Structure 1
Amino acid sequence: MSGGLSKAMDASAVSSDDCANPRAAGQLSFFTQAFNASSLPGSTHAERTSMAFIPLPRESVAMMVDAVRVSALEDDEKCRFLFEMFDVEHRGVLSKEGVRAFVEATFATNGVEFLGAFDYDAVVGKVFGRCRQQDKMSYSEFKSVFGAVVAESDDDKSKEALGRLTVIVQTHNPKEFVPNTTTTNNNNNERGGRWYRINKFCRRYKAEIFWLTLYFLLMVAVFIAKASRFAFDPAVGNCPRVAKGFAEICLVNTMFVLLPMCRNFVTGLRTLPVVVNHLPIDHHIEFHKICGVVLLLAFLGHTAAWLVIVVYVRTVPLAVWKQSRYHHLAFVRDENLLLFALRVPIWTGVAMLLCAAIAAPLCLEKVRRGKFNLFWVSHMLFIPFLVLMAFHGFARWVAAPQAHYWVLPPIVIYLVEKRYRMTQMFGGQTQIAHVQLSKEAVAVFMRKPKAFSKRQRFLPGMYVFVNVPTISKFEWHPFTISSAPEDKFISLHIQRSGDWTRALYDNLQQHQASRVEDQGSPVTSPYPTVFLDGPIGAPAQDYSRYREVVLIGAGIGVTPFASILRSIMHQWESYRCPQCGHVRFPPSFQLRKIYFYWVMREQEALTWFTNTMNQLSQMDADNRLEIHNFFSSVKNEEVIAPLQALQNFIHDTEGQDIISGLQTRQRTRFGRPDWNAELSRVAQNHRRLEPLEDGDGEREEIGVFFCGPKPLGNVIDEQCARLNQTVPDVEFAFHSENF
């Protein structure tokens, strides 16, 4: 260390003692000793570049910068220490190499890397362009420019320094609109009361509540209609009514439970505007689950009623039993229980109960995500369950059998669906052409099957079921297509989250590792054969119905919107003028504004769709597209402030976002979005110029499409519902696709 630095350390220590801050003085002494001990004597910095210019390992420099930032030292002491640390020539000024090393250390200490073609030297040159000498930076200049990096973010001085560093070209930023969330009753207790929450819930889910109410009323009507056909019995009372009523509910739900899972049937319904506008088709899987639960409960109710009947029959006096309308079933009263259990209604009922007992616990979300194979195998028990149900009433104990009339139609529909899908599967055989592996996901690029475009129209946002026989011959897993229909390939981005996806990731990783060189050209062992079943309709495909859309992807949930953005890119390219290059939109293209939000934890994910977003930004002369990326792993305010300072400065000097590598108007932001502020801004941007009167005109409908974890989707749905109540002339239509 230079004599100047030692004097500065001594002076700082004295100052700390005077201020009665022994902790800061001790930390300053520790940093000095640590730096002296870590320095490598005799190192030649002339041959070093970047952080190697400092005679310390990259990790040590990053840790030192971070330790100084969070220490109890005063801001001036922090700046002075870092300035002297990077002044390796001990001249009292910093060279360009020292400033470059400091910039790299600031990002390395927060685990953030530079993406894109970022040029350190050009940025450092811009920084030195503000100095009095073009090749030297004094301490006062260093503190003026980089004071925000070392100061704590909640310090007023650091905010001033941040403003000095963040000299950016101001873009148009509409004034944030925060609607009035208060109701006509300003009583906070009443606003948060039970009836308020119930009313709010009903407004939010009015379509779902209407159809579920209709469904449960149908179940009640079915129960009453069937039970009313049986009179009170002196021996067993109303138990036959209860048993037959629950049996009828079981029969009706065998149809309802299968139809929502007929993929092509649901996809066909999505093409009907009347269905999309009035039926919550996006929740067909939830409806399948509800029907399954109702079927199971009705089955248990039917079983319990028959157990009570058997107990009554075997315990009532003989005289009462002879008065019963069921006294002709003498074996129910007199037969040995073991022989009685071998009768068709009994053993089929026990077998169905066993199927339900196995399948029910394996339907839980935790099992489905972690052990999908068990989930899939247990669901295949519905085949013997339905067959047993069809034969369950053949003994004609109480009435003529009718189960086969209810079971046969859904089975026929399902078999036709299955036959159609089997044709799709064999027509959907393809080969993997290329893969890109990241830390937690893999991008798979496949040749488009010949039959892929012959079946039904492929729309952006759809998904396919994927089967890889080398991993499992029977497992089919759904994944959203991330490529556009106009692309010559099909791409899937698959996150490593379950046993099957981990096996696929490891398999593809092994294939890449087996790459060998053959006469200077790489030869890769063949990738496994893939079967595709689809494309299948999804909520995101309805984006074209709106003039303004908000696309929100969380993590791997960005894939349907990547497909949409790529399709839009191809459309815009077809509208481009070959002479001037300007994109002229025809009147038929009604999509006026696109707000794209992507929240991710891994910075590496930002590279997946860089080319697509850059091309769209270059063609977007009318500012129809806003790209907002959020890097949620960095959310500490003390970390965000210095990163944003350097990010904004580099974006101004180089025109590139170093966090994402994108050349867009918007920069990647750190932390998580404030959905209230974001959606309020969208609402303000598209409000009508003149307020609507009661019943006058229509509200501007904005489609909000979300794909990601369900808890986050609930938050966004809640914000949309709140804004629909507080903004009079804007209506957010929320569509969710959870994974």
Structure 2
Amino acid sequence: MIKWNKNDAPRWIFVGIWIIINVILFAVTFVSYRDADEYFYLRSLVGNSLCWARASAACLNFNVMLILLPVCRKLFSYIRGCCDCCPQILRRQLDKNITYHKYIAYMICLHTAIHISAHCFNFEKLAEAHRITGNDLRSRLTHLPSSPNGTWVNPIRSSDPDPTREVFKSVAGVSGVIITLCLIIIVSSSTEIIRRSYFEVFWFTHHVFIIFFIGFLVHGAQMIIHKQSNLSNHPVPSCSEKRWDGKPCDVPQFEGTPPASWKWLVAPAILYLLERLARLVSGLTRVVITKVVTHPSQVFELQMQKKGFRAAPGQYILIQCPAVSKLEWHPFTLTSAPGDEYFSVHVRRVGDWTEAVAKLCHVDEGDFQEAWKMPRIYVDGPFGTATEDVFGYDVALLVGCGIGVTPFASVLKSVWYKFCDPKATVSLKKVYLYWVCPDTSAFEWFQGLLLDLERQMRQKNMPDFLQYNIHLTRGWNANQARNIMLHDDFSDYDAVTGLHHKTQYGRPQWETIFKEQAESHKGERIGVFFCGPKSLSSTLHKHCNRFSSSESKTYFYYNKENF
């Protein structure tokens, strides 16, 4: 249980509280509409489906209020910066903002389905009431005269109604269809395969949320759900079976229920608009590309300067190049450290956007280009990530796959800068870097940084502070591996990377690695930071839970990069 608590319990406590709030809100609203006298006659027409519709609507208001908060990047970065003294358990929940955003979206889908189903039943019952004759209560309610003060309780006023047609004759029906379609588009285009393969599709369709919110606000504007307004002169249920001619009961009077959605949305909407405004101002601040460095393996580095720009290790930025696209913003992890005079990103040329930017930056020309020849770009950020907390642990275990090692470029430099600063207080005692690469070319662009750090550590007589573990998973055969290993036996440097630490061939044996770490660092807090594919993330997460021990006081804390 302790193992599970360290990595998973805080998240599920947050989720559990949120679910409990939803359940309570649903139950309280359901019971209030079920027992309220002012809705007695409306319940007589449609039954308990009214309660289901209103309870789900209350939960929709609550969750739509929350859905924007997790995607306020600047807000979360500000909170992270203000919570240095907060317990790490709370700070780590900020890294799960996208996960919470998805959970809220799923809850919205669930309550939307309940809400639609209940109202479909409502309209069927309301239309059916027109076909009832005689002194039946439903018939009497349906044929109440329509007056300026809204005497009617059945919103369908046609004599021979079709439920489907009546839905589209109401503001609630039309807006409900629109926001449901928007929700389907947003959710269906947010799948992982769409986001990774067709990011532009995901980006554009996600902004349909603007139409969704407008439709959500006007959904209840027509106030078709009426409640009784003269209970003092027409008490229920005692008057329901009596004559409505003033003796003993007046004719029941009804009024529309005012829409309440705007009350839930006004605060988060204002907060989100301020967030977007702040990001717009920040994003339009002039950025100067001071240097473009071409690296092997189709990677180039942009070194930039921007007035007032400050970033913590491991943070990321969003980059827009208007000459390529005026709408697209792409996330890149900063590879520079806070002590550098510039901030930089490494860009791998793997798509139309990156190829276009590389061409505009004259990457393939090789010669030095003046700043005025560089394209205009805008930078939004920086934004916080889990890697910022690397200094809060006794031991850091950094795991990157391929280009996923970029967040650790900034971290490694920052760790070393702080360690060399006599005024800085660093609790971090040891850093392990595990880099899993598909082929030898993937090493080349990051090799220079590792060589520099290795040289500096040897000059400080601290060669073991940072330990590299580079694993080559393919791009070699058994004979090549044998020749490389024979060469390694007679050299102090690795034949592939040129580093003192030798390259390993094949995938890491994570179970063995975690077992060795647990034995080597008993009683210490080990922060595991990962950037890479989901499959490996799940493996590392499970090992963090498995090898944490309350007996030895050794705990592995799992942190994953999310953009």
Of the structure 1 ranges 409-418 and 608-617, higher mean CA displacement relative to structure 2 is found in 608-617
Residues 564 and 730 (structure 1 numbering): CA distance in 2 closer, same or farther, change over 3 Å?
Answer: same
Residues 326 and 203 (structure 1 numbering): CA distance in 2 closer, same or farther, change over 3 Å?
Answer: farther
Amino acid of the structure 2 residue aligned with 1:555: G
Residues 444 and 612 (structure 1 numbering): CA distance in 2 closer, same or farther, change over 3 Å?
Answer: closer
SS at match of 2:108: helix
Distance 2:358 2:143 in 1: 65
Distance 2:282 2:494 in 1: 43
> Following TM superposition, by how much is the alpha carbon of 1:571 offset from its aligned partner in structure 2, in angstroms?
3.2
1:298 aligns with 2:111: yes
Partner of 1:667: 502
Distance 2:440 2:143 in 1: 72
1:714 aligns with 2:538: yes
Distance 2:551 2:439 in 1: 35
Matches within 5 A, 1:19-34: none
SS at match of 1:703: strand
Using the size of structure 1 for normalisation, the TM-score is 0.64
Partner of 1:610: 447
Deviations 1:224-271 (A, max 9, x none): 121222127232111111001111111111121110000011112223
> Following TM superposition, by how much is the alpha carbon of 1:334 offset from its aligned partner in structure 2, in angstroms?
2.3
Amino acid of the structure 2 residue aligned with 1:532: V
Partner of 2:559: 735
Using the size of structure 2 for normalisation, the TM-score is 0.83
Partner of 2:199: 372
Distance 2:115 2:509 in 1: 50
Amino acid of the structure 1 residue aligned with 2:301: V
Distance 1:472 1:507 in 2: 10
> Following TM superposition, by how much is the alpha carbon of 1:362 offset from its aligned partner in structure 2, in angstroms?
0.9
> Following TM superposition, by how much is the alpha carbon of 1:502 offset from its aligned partner in structure 2, in angstroms?
3.2
1:512, 1:524 within 8 Å by CA — same for their partners in 2? Answer: no
Matches within 5 A, 1:404-415: 404-415=262-273
1:515, 1:522 within 8 Å by CA — same for their partners in 2? Answer: no
Distance 2:286 2:8 in 1: 38
1:321 aligns with 2:138: yes
Residues 245 and 199 (structure 1 numbering): CA distance in 2 closer, same or farther, change over 3 Å?
Answer: farther
Partner of 2:358: 508
Partner of 2:252: none
1:556 aligns with 2:383: no
1:635, 1:671 within 8 Å by CA — same for their partners in 2? Answer: no
Distance 2:99 2:346 in 1: 25
1:632, 1:672 within 8 Å by CA — same for their partners in 2? Answer: yes
Residues 199 and 551 (structure 1 numbering): CA distance in 2 closer, same or farther, change over 3 Å?
Answer: closer
Partner of 1:445: 302
Residues 324 and 487 (structure 1 numbering): CA distance in 2 closer, same or farther, change over 3 Å?
Answer: farther
Aligned residue pairs total: 504
Distance 1:394 1:269 in 2: 36
Amino acid of the structure 2 residue aligned with 1:641: R
> Following TM superposition, by how much is the alpha carbon of 1:733 offset from its aligned partner in structure 2, in angstroms?
0.9
1:432, 1:528 within 8 Å by CA — same for their partners in 2? Answer: no
Distance 1:723 1:269 in 2: 31
1:683 aligns with 2:500: no
1:269, 1:275 within 8 Å by CA — same for their partners in 2? Answer: no
> Following TM superposition, by how much is the alpha carbon of 1:330 offset from its aligned partner in structure 2, in angstroms?
3.8
Partner of 1:403: 261
Amino acid of the structure 2 residue aligned with 1:488: E
Residues 727 and 562 (structure 1 numbering): CA distance in 2 closer, same or farther, change over 3 Å?
Answer: farther
Distance 1:215 1:341 in 2: 34
Unaligned runs of at least 5 residues, structure 1? 1-197, 576-585, 688-698
Distance 2:2 2:24 in 1: 27
Amino acid of the structure 2 residue aligned with 1:401: P
C-alpha RMSD of matched pairs (Å): 2.8
> Following TM superposition, by how much is the alpha carbon of 1:216 offset from its aligned partner in structure 2, in angstroms?
0.9
Partner of 1:568: 415
Distance 2:203 2:366 in 1: 38
Distance 1:313 1:354 in 2: 25
Partner of 2:471: 630
2:295, 2:444 within 8 Å by CA — same for their partners in 1? Answer: no
2:314, 2:408 within 8 Å by CA — same for their partners in 1? Answer: yes
The match for 1:289 among 70, 90, 102 is 102
Residues 524 and 414 (structure 1 numbering): CA distance in 2 closer, same or farther, change over 3 Å?
Answer: closer
User: What percent of counterpart residues are identical?
Assistant: 26
2:141, 2:153 within 8 Å by CA — same for their partners in 1? Answer: no
Residues 264 and 632 (structure 1 numbering): CA distance in 2 closer, same or farther, change over 3 Å?
Answer: same
2:301, 2:344 within 8 Å by CA — same for their partners in 1? Answer: yes
SS at match of 2:508: coil
Of the structure 1 ranges 201-210 and 467-476, higher mean CA displacement relative to structure 2 is found in 201-210
2:62, 2:264 within 8 Å by CA — same for their partners in 1? Answer: yes
2:394, 2:427 within 8 Å by CA — same for their partners in 1? Answer: yes
> Following TM superposition, by how much is the alpha carbon of 1:331 offset from its aligned partner in structure 2, in angstroms?
4.0
Distance 2:166 2:349 in 1: 52
Partner of 1:383: 210
Partner of 1:594: 431
Of the structure 1 ranges 422-431 and 412-421, higher mean CA displacement relative to structure 2 is found in 422-431
Distance 2:502 2:324 in 1: 41
Amino acid of the structure 2 residue aligned with 1:373: E
SS at match of 2:314: coil
Partner of 1:488: 341
SS at match of 1:532: strand
SS at match of 1:332: coil
Distance 2:44 2:377 in 1: 64
